[in-house]
Amino acid sequence: MTRTTKTLSQLIRRENVRISEVVLTWQEAIRLAVEPLVSGGFVEERYVDGIIANTYEFGPYYVLCPDLALLHARPEQGVIAQQLAITILRKPVRFKPEGPDVRLLVALAAKDADSHIEVMRRLAVLLSDPIKLEQIAMASTEDEAFGLFIGTPSTAEHQL
């Protein structure tokens, strides 16, 4: 059985990138970040509830480092199709009282463990660069964030 490997640009749609000024709770942050996947038909609404329930049970396992959370649940918790969504928070959220602050939420819907690992590997390469992570978190528009994420610089970056 052969598996096709998708690039990051094939795993995210521009409409799945959003910037939000503030959320009041970590639960609201999860709902906001996963909403494009729900409305796009990539996950069922119960996927959001799965991430929140998993957080209560296991803690915020998806906070990978300061500023970055890779939100995901098990495929059987409501994944329909593989896709990513990015939410940038202008005011950081904390998933536990002692932190860290998180500004970049990447919501992942993976159909199986293999695709989950492959997407995580690609994201790790991209987001292990603190400069790239900061650039995405500080993007002034959704278009700029999308371009930085998939590796296509926007024209806004070159102005000044």
72 is catalytic: yes
**Half-sphere exposure of residue 90: CA atoms within 13 angstroms, side-chain side:** 9
Catalytic residue among 32, 38, 70, 72: 72
Q: Sheet containing 67-71: which strands, arranged edge to edge? A: 12-20, 83-94, 101-109, 67-71, 63-65
Q: Is the dihedral of CA 17, 19, 25, 26 positive or negative?
A: positive
How many other CB atoms sit within 10 Å of the CB of residue 21?
7
Which residues are catalytic, by number? 72
